[in-house]
A and B are shown apart, each in its own frame.
Chain A
Amino acid sequence: MTTIASESGTRPVTDYRRDTGHRWQTVLLEIIKYSVLIPLTASFAFPLYWMISSALKVDSQVYTVPPILLPFPIHPVNFIEGWQILPFTRYAVNSVVFYTVPAVAFTVLSSTIVAYGFSRIRWPGRDTIFWLVVMTMMLPWAVTMVPLFITFKWLGWLDTYRPLVVPALFSHPYIVFLLRQFFMTLPEELSDAARIDGASEFGILFRIILPLTKPALAVVALFRFLWAWNDYLGPLIYLRDENRYPLALGIEQLSTRANDVGNFSNGIPYLMAVSTLVALPIIITFFFAQRTFIEGISLTGMKG
């Protein structure tokens, strides 16, 4: 796929449109296009809009027929009150300090080293073994879920974040794959020159290759961040103590709590407010690193 990537710039896109025929046909096509696209996009956006707008309501604005599209007055205090019903600050610290940060750091570090070994050093059998990496990418995690649980239980790691972050020290096949793709694009001469100067392989990796692949590192770090931040099943299996919950389990806890009548009113607005707050870092990151996201996700498909 990648080989045919770069020939398109020769003629402006508009030529293609002009060739298709008469003006009115083009206009009709445009109308059809937008009349599909706009409602479609609106329906993609609606659930998130509804999440945010409901976060600003009180109970009396939630249970109405017809539903209130634009709440007034709004109640931004829900964001504070909802956050305080359960120790969400602690959950956030758990999510960041005990899960996301170590998972990202460990994965990126270990996967960088492994990807280097699979791309910048020529050793016999390398590409054959790399196939194993590709195959593990496709291995359903369900198969190893139960025995890993038993193993971690045996190690006494249940109710800690170790089952979720220690494996990150051993690299992640998907991220190794992505980084390898990046490393392969760098010219071999870079390394050769450094080797002649007596640099070690680790020296080459950290002083020459990594500075050149910062965008790639950003991509994989971003993806790992996303997986850890959004992970629900992992913490669900391994964590029992509420004090150690990450945000994902905290939200579920809040929804259960909102189900107990008599606990508090505004259950739905609080739930939506906290959900918004948990989704927010992801959405903000997306807007700041949009190009990195799109490039990264585009690259994942480039293995045909």
Chain B
Amino acid sequence: MTRKTISRRDFLRTSGLVAGGAALAACAAPAAAPASGGDDSAAAEPQTISWWYAWGNLDPAVESISQLDSFKAHIGENTTLDYRGSTNNEAVLTALAAGDPPDGGSNMDYPGLWARGVCLAVNDMVDSSEIIDPNEVVDAVWQGGFYGADLIGVPSIESFLWYGLNYNAQHVEEAGLDPDNPPLTWDGVMEWHKELSQFDDGGNVLRIGLDPIDAMAGEPDFIATSYGHTWWNDEEQTFHLDHELMAQGIETQAEFFRFIGPDNFAGLRSVEGQGTWGAAFNAEVQSMIIEGYWHAGETTIQKPEVAVHNRATWAPVPAFREGAKIMATGPHMVQIYRDGKNPDGIFKVAEFLHTEEPLNIIFNEVGWIMGIQSWLPTIDVDTFPGLRFYIDNIDQVTDWIVGRRSPIHWFVNTQLWDLREQVYRDLITPSEAVAELQKRALDEWEAQGL
């Protein structure tokens, strides 16, 4: 049932629809929310549905959604949605440990929580849903929600394409480079990196070309995919981190750091407003970033004056793989916790997110896209500069991956950050780093009793 990679064909189904545009959209309008009160008993007891998610920028959209009449009718007139953004995985873990979790959570470590046995499989709920149509969801996204035969959460909110090299065309032009001819290999990106980075007289960095581990590029999936490797075998549940291609990938990223200076990098990140995911690009102290499709929308909403210069192209691959076009996808979900008080309520929320109104609200207010095929053609891809790249080129992808599949993905991720820093500070070799990474992953696997 589970697949670690998806074929081109899987995704072509989406792209065909997008390319086909409005004509197809007319044929397959997304399910409208049911007229109201399918459930007569809903009027009786006042209920609460609690939903925690990690991303604060979703707040305004959720607020708008919770005010919709159709939403109120769907969850029941006497029911209120108690949502809380900026709630990280640790907060959910402790709430779960305390036996008092929310009803559902999103943007969390889904496989990790599933592996600890705290979530409900939602297969039956989805099967009996009148709104969710699995065939409507981009296949790779939907399949990404499965572990074995179990669907570990309801894919929703936003789930689309993850990799692209985004760049600030204004910076590129100022540096005398051609924004219409972006680099596609690491060597090319490195040349841009050197041209785009700026220093003051004291050798202190003012702007960097590419932070090679900002946003999506920091994760093990990205290095592996870029170098044509698979570090986690989903079917056999095995790790393949100690591999020459992983070492090469780390070394490539390390070169970007060495050019700027590791302390300069750390210092730049420690600046208020530049420390977090993607923020340095928005603050215009970084000219390139390897990011998902959401970068276009989020930047437009947060920093429109920067976003107008945004362009996107393929994420880089090494020279020996020139021509390879890599892309990842995977679901975000509403995961339902076993100890929550209102699993049916939170499922209704997840279900509602598959309807047109919330899809549009989330797209317009946050900049996110859910891979629902009948809805995709209805959006204006030029709303956000750079978004078109992702939509138009889906059928060009040569290497697909469904990301973040390992139950200890986030552990491996933190260890990779740790070891990579030792590499770019020249304390260990890349080969030593990947050997150690493999060892730590195996130890953690055992330590978690998996």
Q: A residues near B, CB below 8 A?
A: 153, 156, 158-159, 240, 242, 255, 258-262, 267-268, 271
Confirm or deny: B413 has a beta carbon within 8 angstroms of a beta carbon on chain A.
no
Residues A159 and B98 in contact in the complex (CB < 8 Å), given A261-B282, A261-B303, A262-B303: yes
Identify which of A159, A258, A260, A262 contacts B100 (C-beta below 8 A): A159
The interface-forming segment of B134-142, B224-232, B271-279, B343-351 is: B271-279
Residues of A within 8 A of B56 (CB): 260
Residues of A within 8 A of B275 (CB): 259
Q: Are the CB atoms of B302 and A261 closer together than 8 Å?
A: yes
Confirm or deny: B28 has a beta carbon within 8 angstroms of a beta carbon on chain A.
no
Confirm or deny: B319 has a beta carbon within 8 angstroms of a beta carbon on chain A.
no
Q: How long is the Cα–Cα vector from A259 to B273 in the complex, in angstroms?
A: 4
Q: How long is the Cα–Cα vector from A267 to B95 in the complex, in angstroms?
A: 30
Identify which of B273, B283, B301 contacts A258 (C-beta below 8 A): B273
Q: How long is the Cα–Cα vector from A280 to B281 in the complex, in angstroms?
A: 37
Identify which of B87, B94, B99, B276 contacts A259 (C-beta below 8 A): B276
Residues of A within 8 A of B276 (CB): 259-261
Residues of B within 8 A of A259 (CB): 272-276, 279
Identify which of B97, B273, B301 contacts A153 (C-beta below 8 A): B97
Q: Are the CB atoms of B273 and A156 closer together than 8 Å?
A: no
Q: How long is the Cα–Cα vector from A249 to B106 in the complex, in angstroms?
A: 23
B98 to chain A minimum Cβ distance, whole angstroms, is 4
Confirm or deny: B175 has a beta carbon within 8 angstroms of a beta carbon on chain A.
no
Q: How long is the Cα–Cα vector from A153 to B275 in the complex, in angstroms?
A: 33
Identify which of A156, A159, A255, A260 contacts B279 (C-beta below 8 A): A260
Q: How long is the Cα–Cα vector from A144 to B275 in the complex, in angstroms?
A: 34
Q: Are the CB atoms of B94 and A158 closer together than 8 Å?
A: yes
Confirm or deny: B427 has a beta carbon within 8 angstroms of a beta carbon on chain A.
no
Q: How long is the Cα–Cα vector from A259 to B280 in the complex, in angstroms?
A: 10
Q: Are the CB atoms of A268 and B95 closer together than 8 Å?
A: no
Q: How long is the Cα–Cα vector from A159 to B275 in the complex, in angstroms?
A: 29
Q: Are the CB atoms of A258 and B98 closer together than 8 Å?
A: no
Known contacts A261-B282, A261-B302, A262-B303; 9 further A-B pairs (Cβ under 8 A): A153-B97, A156-B98, A156-B100, A240-B94, A258-B273, A259-B273, A261-B276, A262-B301, A268-B272
Q: How long is the Cα–Cα vector from A72 to B188 in the complex, in angstroms?
A: 48
Q: How long is the Cα–Cα vector from A258 to B97 in the complex, in angstroms?
A: 30
Confirm or deny: B91 has a beta carbon within 8 angstroms of a beta carbon on chain A.
yes
Q: Are the CB atoms of B272 and A262 closer together than 8 Å?
A: no
Q: Are the CB atoms of B98 and A158 closer together than 8 Å?
A: yes
B91-119 CB mask vs A (1 if < 8 Å, else 0) is 10011011110000000000000000000
Identify which of A153, A242, A255, A267 contacts B98 (C-beta below 8 A): A153
The 10 closest A-B pairs by CB, nearest first: A262-B302, A158-B98, A261-B279, A261-B273, A261-B282, A267-B272, A240-B91, A259-B275, A153-B98, A258-B272
B264 to chain A minimum Cβ distance, whole angstroms, is 16
Q: How long is the Cα–Cα vector from A158 to B282 in the complex, in angstroms?
A: 38
Residues A267 and B97 in contact in the complex (CB < 8 Å), given A260-B279, A261-B282, A262-B303: no
Residues of B within 8 A of A261 (CB): 273-274, 276, 279, 282-283, 302-303
Q: How long is the Cα–Cα vector from A150 to B50 in the complex, in angstroms?
A: 24
B368 to chain A minimum Cβ distance, whole angstroms, is 16
Residues of A within 8 A of B274 (CB): 259, 261
Give 29 pairs: A residue, B residue, CB < 8 Å, sorted on A: A153-B98, A156-B98, A156-B99, A156-B100, A158-B94, A158-B98, A158-B100, A159-B98, A159-B100, A240-B87, A240-B91, A242-B84, A258-B272, A258-B273, A259-B272, A259-B273, A259-B275, A259-B279, A260-B56, A260-B273, A260-B276, A260-B279, A261-B273, A261-B274, A261-B276, A261-B279, A261-B303, A262-B303, A271-B272
Residues of B within 8 A of A240 (CB): 87, 91, 94-95
Q: Which chain B residue has the least Cβ–Cβ distance from A264? A: B273
Residues of B within 8 A of A262 (CB): 282, 301-303
B271 to chain A minimum Cβ distance, whole angstroms, is 9
A155 to chain B minimum Cβ distance, whole angstroms, is 10
Q: How long is the Cα–Cα vector from A26 to B79 in the complex, in angstroms?
A: 81
A121 to chain B minimum Cβ distance, whole angstroms, is 42
A220 to chain B minimum Cβ distance, whole angstroms, is 33
Residues of A within 8 A of B99 (CB): 153, 156
Q: How long is the Cα–Cα vector from A268 to B95 in the complex, in angstroms?
A: 32
